Chains A and B, each alone.
Chain A
Amino acid sequence: MTINWISLTALLPLVGAALLATLPKGAELRAKQFAFGTTLVTAASAIAMAVQFQRDNTDLQFVEVRSWIPSFGINYAVGIDGIALVLILMSVILAPIVILAGWNEAQGGRWSVKTFYILILVLETMMIGVFSATDVFLFYVIFEAMLVPVYFLIGGYGTGERSAAAVKFLLYSLFGGLLMLASIIALYVMSGAQGGHTFDLAKLANLQMSSTTQNFLFLGFFIAFAIKAPLWPFHTWLPDAAQSATPGTSVLLLGVLDKVGTFGMIRYCLTLFPEASKTFTPVIIVLAVISIIYGAILAIGQKDLKRLIAFTSISHFGFITMGIFAMTSQSQSGATLYMFNHGFSTAALFIVGGWMIARRGSSTISDFGGLQRVTPVMAWCFFLAGMSSLALPGLSSFVSEFLVLVGTYTRYPAAAIIATVGIILAALYILIPVQRALHGPTTPGNENLTDLNLREKVAIAPVLAAIIALGFYPSPLLNVINPAAVHVNSQLGFTDPVPTVEGK
């Protein structure tokens, strides 16, 4: 019997969680170390898988299919392409970083530290599963089930209005999920009429359906993903959730979970409903552009550091969605690379921001000031994270933002031009808090803040290193993403528009 790398990688955190549950009650340090070790092993396993990945092969790789509920034609079916691989890598690399960076963040929770790490590990299993599922039912099950650990992470370990934020998050997501369920049921019923009940993604993609049906089913999926991503006007849960969650949870929430929304748009909306995707593209591009500008403008106005980061993410998700639906190979690759980079730059912002907040005991931006003098290392880290968020050339986000804009311009020049305004606004929403928090006179109460300790430096170093390295040399990732992105577009019947030159 051969071992499937995806299943193995996904199983590791779950086994870790089960073992963690058997630890005695008081052993907090052991629980942390064990959880950290588990995530490291998981990351190693995922990297081993990535090494074996054949990047020029556009078929799904590491495929495993096992019958799960035969009476409904449901399988445990997993497999990854370049896009999924990149997102899984991002998830498993962020997990140990989150645990190391937020070493003490479970302390203020309603429940034990052990429970916190059990929830994180269970969530990690589901993150790997959700990106690799190729059975629509399996995807839906994980998509919904992963709400539960996040809900308890926000509501149990967050700060402030944590339970209200957790409930808001859960209800928004559940509502979207149920719309998707209705669409899935319709797909299932149609597959039954056309050659046997199945949830296999490839088979469902070949279903014959009228364009009206396709439009409705597309909307069921799209709204679920737009809530998850989140896209304006479905975004209102995100700032509350991000404000209340612990920094580590926020990293996983914005960095990984929200990517399920944009990933779902590529994997499910475009693949299952190519015609409807084309029909709705103008509307979605408009929504994406609104998200970019709206998120940026609201970010400028935020007084709370965590809410600010949440609104910057709404703007960034606008870019990703625009890149996906512009349907050129550049914008498509750019969007996937953007997802990866956004994961890291948001992680850096939330992690360093979380340390600042923990030290100062406040998340209001105006409470900081002069950190550059008091805590230079932390200030530099925050500065670098901010620069990555505004896509400074030389940092990784620049490459992806540029690709998205260039790719979009060839098909929707107006949208690309308006979106470019978002870059200018990005400079504002990052530079204003950077100026207020890091520079200027030291705000009273900040004189005795301590700088980063060794653990924190070790935690943030790989994130910043990745941001800089991929800014200069993004090809390792792009080589994996490009074939998959081209494959998605060619399935849709799109080829890149040929640039025309004036006067020829």
Chain B
Amino acid sequence: MIFNSPTLSYSLLAPILIILAGALIGVLIEAFVSKAIRPIAQLSVALGSLVLALIQVIRIRDLSSTTAAMGSVIIDGPGILFQGAILIIAIISIFLIADQDNFTSSAAALPGSEEERQATQSGTVLTEIYPLTLFAVAGMLLFPVASDLITLFVALEVLSLPLYLMAGLSRHRRLASQEAALKYFLLGAFSSAFFLFGAAYLYGYSGTVSFAGIHAAVVGGTGNDVILLLGIAFVAIGLLFKVGAVPFHAWSPDVYQGAPTPITGFMAAATKIAAFGAMLRLFYTVLAEAQWQWRPFFMVIAIITMIFGSLVAISQRDVKRMLAYSSIAHAGFLLTGVIALNKAGLEASIYYLFTYGVATVGAFGIVTLVRDSSGEVSDLNRWAGLGKRSPWVASAFAFFLLAFAGIPLTSGFIGKFAIFSAACESGATAVVIVGVLSSAIAAFFYIRVIVLMFFTDATEDGTSVVIPSILTRLTIFISLVVTVALGVFPAPLLDFIKPLAIFIR
């Protein structure tokens, strides 16, 4: 028997490998480096590996070969763009994560116990968060470039497991945080099972797990269509869960609220890019010819997601829950990009994912700043009059909200226009009309927050804006600049995306 040694194309896999190496070094630092220098060492390693990975992504953008790891991974234009976007979002969020005030000192201690108190008093900081973040990033990088169902599933788990853990690390309201983590884990495991079940059906349909093989079977059309349909449906459920589309969204408000805010921001932005990346690849290439099986289903999901997210967000009293429902609505808008199923739709989705991600990290960055003596204040009523006390912070938050609402001269507007026009081009007029109307509904609750901050008199309850650390300031500043710049001059990024946004089958 002859064994061929596998060819891996290391240069193409390098971004993922660099991140994984960084994560492993992080684990070693936890074990061997003294407490005092751990935070700075961890931050440097994390930041260093993210930047190195980004450089490597930029280096390999002119592709000499496209498949790596024996065809399990496809590095093509969209894959590069997704990876680049995830890395940029991760770099911006790592500054936010570095602000240790947000995390518990000792995750293992019972909430409210003596042990916890001691840990907090001793000033211990939780540096495990950095390797966890890096592991999640590695999974996210692999997710949109995976080109067989097994790799896709492995990537899904690699990105999810650290996130479950990170959701439970909040310093304040630890019980809520742990509840969020458990909920996220249980529902996530459930959706993974769905995904696996669907993968099994697709294997049964085509006799292979590779995307190319499934695509060939779909084009050939000789298999049993019922099995294909079941496979598509279950795989889609697994993916739709990750992006928080209705009716698979139930976890997201609780998790958004309970998780430490920097993690919420990172998760909301980066997971969306990874999950939509994988979804776009799957439905634009592998299942494109089966569009009659999945497009009607996706249209219904998109419509109810947009309407539900926008409507329910109106009644929220908590800023993080409000942003959670807003992200559900945005998942709906992004689904119109999947439905579009044309090149313009792919370009628009990538642009939208990136700009939405950046604005999301910035917005959550601001949420970490509004505090009282017992920690973050996420109750919206206590945000009243913020514009008076901290005009800059309130203005920045208002600007992010306007970007979410898609007001012209923000990046959100260009994204929305691009994605709706692409969907309209493909004939999904009904979805576009619903999208436009739910944008109008969504504008209402974003503006409500602006009214609250600027036009409502403050109550004297000790809510104040802490002076942001230099790192948090950096996060918010970068996000703000990107959101403004891409709102007024989107052409460079759009032109950069255009030639790259072609999937290779």
The answer to whether A and B assemble together is: yes
Which A residues form the contact surface with B (CB < 8 A)?
A: 67-72, 110-111, 140-142, 144-145, 147-148, 152, 155-156, 162-163, 166-167, 170-171, 174-175, 178-179, 181-182, 185-186, 188-189, 192
Nearest 4 pairs of A and B residues by beta carbon: A163-B455, A141-B408, A71-B494, A144-B408
Chain B residue with the shortest CB-CB distance to A186? B424
Query: By the criterion CB–CB under 8 Å, are B414 and A189 in contact?
Result: no
Question: Do B451 and A69 touch across chains, with their CB atoms under 8 A apart?
Answer: no
Known: A71-B494, A142-B408, A171-B447. 7 other contacts (CB 8 A): A72-B417, A156-B455, A167-B448, A171-B444, A178-B443, A186-B424, A188-B421
B370 CB-CB contact with A under 8 Å: no
Most chain B CB within 10 A, of A72, A140, A188, is at A72
One of B347, B421, B443, B491 near A70 (C-beta < 8 A): B491
Which residues from chain B contact A185 at a C-beta distance below 8 Å? 417, 420-421, 424, 432
Interface of A is mostly: helix
B407 contacts A166, C-beta separation under 8 Å: no
- A181 interface neighbour in B402, B436, B456, B495, Cβ under 8 Å: B436
The residues of A that contact B424 with a CB separation of less than 8 Å are 185-186, 188-189
Instruction: Check if B433 is an interface residue, CB within 8 A of chain A.
Output: yes
Among B407, B408, B443, B490, point to the contact of A69 (Cβ < 8 A).
Answer: B490
Cβ-defined contact, A140 with B491, below 8 A: no
Q: Is the CB of A148 within 8 A of B407?
A: yes
The B382-439 residues at the A interface (CB cut-off 8 A) are 387-388, 391, 402, 407-409, 413-414, 417-418, 420-421, 424-425, 429, 432-433, 436-437, 439
CB of B454 closer than 8 Å to a CB of A: yes
By a beta-carbon cutoff of 8 Å, the part of chain B in contact with chain A is: 347, 387-388, 391, 402, 407-409, 413-414, 417-418, 420-421, 424-425, 429, 432-433, 436-437, 439-440, 443-444, 447-448, 451, 454-456, 490-491, 494-495, 498
Residue in chain B with minimal CB distance to A112: B391
Q: List 21 A-B contacts (CB under 8 A).
A: A68-B491, A69-B491, A71-B347, A71-B491, A71-B495, A71-B498, A110-B387, A141-B408, A145-B407, A145-B408, A148-B407, A155-B455, A163-B451, A167-B447, A171-B440, A171-B443, A171-B444, A178-B439, A179-B436, A182-B436, A189-B424
Bound Cα distance from A179 to B424, whole angstroms: 14
B281 shortest CB reach to chain A, Å: 22
Q: For the complex, give the distance between the alpha carbons of A71 and B496 in Å.
A: 10
For B456, list chain A residues within 8 Å (CB): 163
Q: Could you say which of A142, A155, A156, A178 has the most chain B C-beta atoms within 10 Å of its C-beta?
A: A178
Residues of chain A within 8 A (CB-CB) of B440 are: 171, 174-175, 178
A110 and B455 contacting across the interface, CB-CB below 8 Å: yes
With a CB–CB cut-off of 8 A, which chain B residues contact A68? 491
* B69 CB to nearest chain A CB (Å): 33
In the bound complex, do residue A148 and residue B402 qualify as a contact, i.e. CB atoms below 8 Å apart?
yes
Q: A145-B407, A171-B443, A175-B440 are in contact. Are A72 and B418 (CB under 8 A)?
A: yes
Q: Is the pair B425, A192 in contact by a Cβ cutoff of 8 Å?
A: yes
Nearest-neighbor residue (CB-CB) of B405 within chain A: A174
Residues of B within 8 A of A175 (CB): 440
| Cβ–Cβ < 8 Å partners of A144 in chain B | 407-408, 413
